[in-house]
Amino acid sequence: MTPVSLEPNQQSTTTTITTSNSSQLPFGEYLFRRLEQVKNVKSIFGVPGDFNLGLLEHLYKTQLNWIGGCNELNSGYAADGYSRYTNSLGVLITTYGVGELSALNAIAGGFAEYSKILHIVGIPKTSVLNNEVEKAKHLHHLVPNIDSLKRSDHYVYTKMVKDVSCISKVLDDSKTIVEDLDQVIQAIFKTSRPGYIFLPLDMADALVDASKLSQTPADYHLIKDNHPLKTEEITQKILELVYKSKNPSILADVLVSRYHNATELLREFVDLTQFNNYTTFMGKSILDETNPNFVGDYIGLESNIGIKENMEASDLILYFGSYINEINTGHYSFDFSEDQLILLHPDYIKIGSEFYHGVNFVNVLSSLLIHLDSSKVPTNPPLQYEIKLRFPYLPSKASISQSHMLEKFESFVQPNDVIVCETGSFMFGIPDLKFKSNVKYIAQGFYLSIGMALPCSTGVGIAMKDQNSSSRLILVEGDGSAQMTIQEISSFVHYGLNPIIFLLNNSGYTVERIIKGETRDYNDIKQWNWSKAFEFFEFGDEKNSEVKIVSNEQELTKAFASTELNPTKLRFHEVILDKMDCPWRFHHMNGYRHLPATQ
C-alpha cells in the first residue's frame, strides 16, 4: 500500500459522508451493510492505502470491526484463518498494486485450500480507468507498459488473479454494482474459493438502491440443490450399497468443513450408522475422534500401521468432501478399487463407475440422513488389523524430541481447543494424535506456504472472539516460518487475544535439511532472541503474558501443565529441538533415509 494519493477529487480527512434514510446509500456503506448480514462476518481485515481510504470511511457506519494487519500478506493469511474458523467469508481489503500483489500468495493458498476469501482491492476512479484523465497516464502503484510509448494498462493486476479466484469483477458501473457484489459473494460460497472485487475509488460514494438489504436475505451459505431428482437417485443408489455392504467405512476430508453445515451432518451420519470412520491428513478434526468407531487418519502409505489395512479392507468407502491431491493422499498412495468407492465431492458424486456431475455432496448427505433406514444398516465388524504407531519414539540429539512432544501434546489438548499448526515437520506428527471432543485443527496441509500459521491464527483468534468463544487458541509454529511473518505476533496483543504459542526452535529450515543441504547455509536462519519478542512487541507485564524457554522434558511437562483452560494471558514457549529432529512420517515421506535402522 502506499500513502501518496493525488486523486484530485479525494476529500480531506475524516469527512462525514451524509447518508439518506431513503432507499439510497453510498455503495461503500451498502457493501459493508451487506457483508454485515452475511452469517459470521463481524470483522474485516486489511491494510489501508490511498485507493481504499474512501471505502474504509464507510466501515464506521456499521458494526464491523477493522483489523489492520502489519502487511498485506499477513492480512490475507488472517482473512483465510477467519474464513476457515467461521466457514464464512474472510474479507480482505488492500490497495492497488502494492497491496493486492503482496497478498497474492495468501489468496493462492486460499484458492488451493478452498477458503472463502473476499478480496476487495481499491483501484483508481473510473475516469482514470477510462483514460479520461491525461494526468493519470502513468499512475503511482501501477507498472507501466513495457513499451514506453504505450499507456499503462489499468487492468494489469486484475488479469493476474484469474487462476487464483472463482470470480473477479471490476465494480465500475453504479447501475449494476449491487448485483455484481451479490454475484461475487454467491460464487465464493458456491465454490468455496476466493473472489475479487476491484472497486474504483469513486464508486465507494456512488449512490445505489439499498432495498435489497431489507428484502433479499443474505443466505449465501446455503447450498441450493439444483438437481433434486439426481440427488434422490444418488441417495437411493448409495443407500442400496450401504445396506448390502458388510464392512463399510466413512472417510472425511477437508471439503466437508467448507460447505455450510456438512460437518454437523456428517457427524450425525457417523452417529447413526456407527460405521468405522477415518479422516484424511487435511480433514483432521472434522469427525469426533472420541467416537468409538473413529479409527484414525488415513493417508495411504503414510498412515499408521493398521489404518491403511483396515480402511482398504472395507467393501464400501463413503469418501465425503474429497480433496485428492499429492499431500492429502500420502503421495497418491490411496489404494481403492472403483467398486469400493463412493466419492462425494462438491462438484460431483461418483458411485463406482457411475459419475454424476453438478451435484454437491452436502445435498446428498442431507438426503442420506433423511432416507437412511437404520434398521438396514450393517453392523460394523471388529477391525481386522491392530492399529499402532510406526515409530512412536524417534531419538534426538536434543533433550526433547518431536516424538515425545507429540505424545505429551495429545494429552495437553483439551476439548474445544482450536489448534493452528504451521507448515513444517510437526504437522506430519499430528495424524498420530487422537483429539478430544470438538477440537478444531487448522493447517495449510496442501499449499504449504510457510509463515501462514501465525497471521492465520490472528484471524482465527478474531473469529473466536467474534463468536464469543472462550476456547483456547493454540499455535504451533516453527522458527524459520515465524521469521517470515513475525510482526503479526503484535496483533495478538493489539486485539486482546491470548493464544498459547509453541515456537519449535530447531535452528533453521529442518524440513529442508532432511531433503537436501543438511549443513548448507541456505538452510540456516538468523539467530533471534525469541523470548525478547514480548518486550519488543509490547506484550506488557507478567499479568498479560508469560514466556518460557523449554529445553528439557521436565520443562515441557511443566509448560503443558501450567496453561489454564480460559487463558487470561498470552503464553509463549520456545521449545529447543535438534536441527534434524522430525516426526517419523516426515522421514517416511522422504524415503526413510534418515530413519533409525531399528523399529
Longest distance between any two alpha carbons in the chain, whole Å: 77
For 309, the enclosing helix (H) or strand (E) is helix 307-313
Q: Is 590 in the site for a second copy (CB under 8 A)?
A: yes
Q: CB-wise, 264 or 542, nearer to a second copy?
A: 542
Q: Which of 447, 502, 560, 572 binds a second copy (CB under 8 A)?
A: 447
The reply on whether position 5 binds a second copy by CB under 8 A is yes
Task: Give the per-residue contact string, 56-95, with a second copy (x = CB under 8 A; - = no).
Answer: xx-xx-----x-x-xx-x----------------------
Among residue numbers 19 through 58, which ones bind a second copy (CB under 8 A)?
Answer: 48-50, 53-54, 56-57
- Interhelix angle 453-466/72-86, rounded to 10 degrees, is 50
Consult the annotation and say whether 506 binds a ligand: yes
- By CB under 8 A, tell whether 529 contacts a second copy: yes
**248 or 455, CB closer to a second copy?**
455
Residue of the chain from 13, 214, 215, 598 that contacts a second copy (CB under 8 A): 13
Site string for a second copy, 91-110 (x = CB under 8 A): ------xx--xx-xx--xx-
467 to 496, contacts with a second copy by CB under 8 A? 483-487, 490-491, 493-494
The length of the chain is 599
- Contact call for residues 94 and 121 (beta carbons, < 8 A): yes
Consult the annotation and say whether 209 binds a ligand. no
Number of residues in contact with a second copy under rule CB under 8 A: 122
Contact pattern for a second copy over residues 168 through 187, marking x by CB under 8 A = --------------------
Structural contact between residues 499 and 475, judged by C-beta atoms closer than 8 angstroms? yes
Q: Which of 294, 361, 509, 560 binds a second copy (CB under 8 A)?
A: 509
Segment (H or E) for 169: strand 167-170
For position 163 contacting a second copy by CB under 8 A, the verdict is yes
Q: Which of residues 344-403 bind a second copy (CB under 8 A)?
A: 345-348, 357
Cell 491464527, residue located:
457
CB of 383 to a second copy, least distance (A): 28
Binding to a second copy by CB under 8 A, coded x per residue (else -) over 241-280, reads: ----------------------------------------
Supply the Cα-derived Rg of the chain in whole angstroms.
25
Q: Residue 520, interface with a second copy (CB under 8 A)? A: yes
C-alpha cell at 355: 459419475
* Least distance (Å) between residue 164 CB and a second copy: 6
Least Cβ distance, residue 72 to a second copy (angstroms) = 8
Q: What share of the chain is helix, strand, coil (3-state, %, to 5)?
A: 35, 15, 45
The only residue of 3, 217, 292, 382 in contact with a second copy, by rule CB under 8 A = 3
Q: Among the candidate windows 32-40, 129-137, 176-184, 227-235, which touches a second copy by CB under 8 A?
A: 129-137
CA dihedral for 578, 579, 583, 587, sign (positive or negative)? negative
Check binding of 519 to a second copy (CB under 8 A).
Answer: yes
Q: Which residue has the cell 516426526?
A: 583
- When binding is defined by CB under 8 A, the residue of 263, 401, 510, 545 that contacts a second copy is 510
Report yes or no: 280 and 328 within 8 Å, Cβ to Cβ.
yes
Nearest to 218 by CA among 363, 85, 39: 39
Amino acid 332 reads Y
- Asked if residue 539 lies in contact with residue 549, where contact means CB atoms within 8 angstroms, the answer is no
Helices (H), 372-488: 402-412, 453-466, 479-485
Identify how many contiguous H helices and E strands the chain contains and give both numbers: 21, 21
Nearest residue to 161 (alpha-carbon basis) of 204, 114, 115, 97: 97
